[in-house]
Amino acid sequence: MPRDDRASCLDATTTGMALSVTAEVGRLLEALAASGQPGAVDLRSLPLTDADRQQLQDLLGRGEVRADLELAGRSEVWETAYPGVWWIRHLAADDRIASEEIAVCPVPEILQAHPDDIRAGARRLSQDLAALQAPAAPVPGDTNQETTHV
Amino acid sequence: MSDKNAAARGPVTAANKTLGEALSDRGVSRRTFLKFASYTASIMALPPTAATAIAQGLANARRQSVIWLSFQECTGCTESITRAGTPSIEDLIFDFISLDYHHTLQNASGHLAELAREQAMEENKGEYLVIVDGSVPLKDDGVYSTIAGMTNLQMLQDTVRNAKAVISVGSCAAFGGIPGANPNPTGAVPISDLVTGKPLITKLSPNQTDIAENARRCIEAGSDAFAVINTLMGMAIDIESRTPHIGNNQGGLSGPAIKPIALLKVHQVYQVARDHGIPIIGQGGVTTPNDAIEFLLAGATAVGVGTALFYDPLVLPKINRGIGEYLERHGLSRVSELTGAMRLNTQRPAQQCGC
């Protein structure tokens, strides 16, 4: 059988891995619920066929949250039907999957704003507001400018 | 990417920026960096949770400050390093290290050059590396070689005082070289004769014919400890393109494949080192507690772990725990009781098989 045909046959076959991964996710979710300990499963390191991947998506379903990120290529994050279980898929510039994992946590780190960024954002916003509120400098020689005295 | 030591390190300059700060300046966001860390963890088969640790560690990493001192030398060592291919000198000084002082390569000259050295020493106290090429003249108060009004000895002592480590490059710095050749008119000495407050650890390559004899010579030259072994040179070939896989054509092979060779070399060096009380750091393919115990039994006082950390960054406590359990099982109280405790098999004459 030609190599490409063998590969497509394999991709269409379920191997039972989806059930195993779901069981592992269940164990991690119990740990998160009991102790707050986050966990993750790296899907790229597992021998999943395309059919396995689809079965795993069907088993975990879709929840209420979905986020698309533009970070040197697209990234997709969605919460599964089980709160605390997140599917994170990073795509390379050519839209191939570069890394894919299931994160078990309240909110994936990649969605959270880092405290340093929050501080930098606060500083920037304050500067922007100050710039907006500052009176515009008069343009020399512009006789059309109105001056208001209070 | 938070840096708790930011306040302690003073104003942020281009040279002392962390990788995170440098990337941020180039418009690489923290989330993009975290995405890169996720790839890296996946490619290295690390647990996905290691991505955060990678991102944190890399973001806070700073280019290593290096002060390069050139004394009685011919600039051949610098010539060699400027011709390096992997990495090239420009990659090295722009991406990996902060070369804060080097007579030939630095832009500054005169008192500004000396100011750069002093600033690097102050800003990186206890953390900077000093690389020395050339020997130091001691005769006639060292007048045969001076820089900025300082004798080589004064500059060396001043610079190494708060250095993390000192590396001698080339035969002049390591052994005195041509300036130290008989009749040695300037009283030239190697750096190891002068920097005695820091331990001299000599890493021994397995790519030599008589490692024990060279270990003996190193002890005579002042080595305080050995690291045994370095990588073995190797090659891998892509049969489709018929070219070596490695850009440099050859490279250092490490990991479990070299453990049996490393064990033998540690055993051979131990035969020389034990009589002088010189400790050995055994390294080469250690991934489990049993590997570490084998190295100790062969003669190592301590064990180095490298490649295994790529597969499991948390392997060190596991190895330590395993060694502790072994000691307990064998009624031992100290790791040092294992050093060189291997009992060699006594050779028996070959028996006739009778056929």
What confidence tens digit (pLDDT) does each residue in B58-87 have? Answer: 777 778 899 999 999 999 999 988 887 766
Q: pLDDT band at residue B36, thresholds of 50, 70 and 90?
A: confident
Lowest mean pLDDT across A113-127, B66-80, B304-318? B304-318
Quick check: A83 pLDDT over 90?
A: yes
Tell me whether residue B247 is exposed, middle or buried, using C-beta atoms within 10 angstroms of its C-beta: 0 to 12, 13 to 18, 19 or more. exposed
Lowest mean pLDDT across B20-24, B137-141, B222-226? B20-24
Compare CB distances from A90 to B2, B39, B52 and report the shortest one's residue: B39
A37 and B CB contact within 8 Å = no
A90 and B CB contact within 8 Å = yes
Between strands A74-79 and B251-253, the pairing is: unpaired
CA B266 to chain centre: 18
Q: pLDDT band at residue B353, thresholds of 50, 70 and 90?
A: low
How far is B207 from A61, CA to CA, in rounded Å? 57
Which tokens sit at A29? 């979710």
* Cβ contact A40–B52 (<8 Å): no
Peptide bond into B229 cis (omega under 30): yes
Stated as kind and residue range, the H or E segment containing A33 is helix A17-35
Quick check: B331 pLDDT over 90?
A: yes
**Radius of gyration for chain B, computed over Cα atoms and rounded to the nearest angstrom:** 24
Site of tokens 């990788």: B19
Average pLDDT of span A97-101: 87
How far is B106 from B48, CA to CA, in rounded Å? 42
How far is B335 from B329, CA to CA, in rounded Å? 13
Indicate the residue type of B286: V
Average pLDDT of span B10-14: 46
DSSP label at residue B96? I
What length is written for chain A? 150
CA–CA distances in Å: residue B189 to residues B135, B160, B164, B217: 6, 16, 22, 17
Q: Which residues of B touch A117 (CB under 8 A)?
A: 30
B62 pairs with which residues across the strands? B18
B35 and A CB contact within 8 Å = yes
Tell me whether residue B140 is exposed, middle or buried, using C-beta atoms within 10 angstroms of its C-beta: 0 to 12, 13 to 18, 19 or more. exposed
Per-residue confidence (pLDDT) for residue A141, from 0 to 100:
58
Of residues B149, B192, B150, the one with CA closest to residue B169: B192
CA A44 to chain centre: 16
Q: pLDDT band at residue B6, thresholds of 50, 70 and 90?
A: very low
Q: Which residues of A touch B36 (CB under 8 A)?
A: 72
Stated as kind and residue range, the H or E segment containing B251 is strand B251-253
How far is A103 from A87, CA to CA, in rounded Å? 6
Percent of chain B exceeding pLDDT 70 equals 91
Averaged pLDDT of chain B: 87
Per-residue confidence (pLDDT) for residue B328, from 0 to 100:
95
Q: Give the distance from residue B40's alpha carbon to the nearest chain A alpha carbon, in angstroms.
A: 9
Give all strands (DSSP E) within chain A, no chain letters: 39-42, 66-70, 74-79, 85-91, 97-104
- Tell me which of B6 and A86 has the higher pLDDT: A86
Per-residue confidence (pLDDT) for residue B154, from 0 to 100:
96
Q: pLDDT band at residue B98, thresholds of 50, 70 and 90?
A: confident
Average pLDDT of span B25-41: 80
Compare CB distances from B35 to A41, A75, A116 and report the shortest one's residue: A75
Of residues A92, A5, A13, A102, the one with CA closest to residue A55: A13
Q: Closest-CA residue in chain B for A91?
A: B35
- Tell me which of B236 and A138 has the higher pLDDT: B236
Site of tokens 């099982």: B329
CB–CB of A11/A49 below 8 Å?
Answer: yes
How far is B102 from A41, CA to CA, in rounded Å? 48
Quick check: B207 pLDDT over 60?
A: yes
How far is B126 from B5, CA to CA, in rounded Å? 15
Average pLDDT of span A76-98: 90
**Reduced to 3 states, what is the DSSP secondary structure of residue B18?**
strand
Compare CB distances from B35 to A71, A103, A116 and report the shortest one's residue: A71
Q: Give the distance from residue A28's alpha carbon to the nearest chain B alpha carbon, in angstroms.
A: 12
Indicate the residue type of A76: E
A41 and B CB contact within 8 Å = yes
Quick check: B221 pLDDT over 90?
A: no
Q: pLDDT band at residue B7, thresholds of 50, 70 and 90?
A: very low
* Cβ contact A99–B42 (<8 Å): yes
CA–CA distances in Å: residue A69 to residues A40, A42, A81, B28, B35: 20, 19, 21, 14, 11
On the CB side of B38, CA atoms within 13 Å amount to 28
Average pLDDT of span A128-140: 79
Per-residue confidence (pLDDT) for residue B325, from 0 to 100:
95
Of residues B93, B158, B150, B96, the one with CA closest to residue B130: B158
Per-residue confidence (pLDDT) for residue B4, from 0 to 100:
42
Q: Which residues of B touch A36 (CB under 8 A)?
A: none
Q: Which residues of B touch A38 (CB under 8 A)?
A: 49
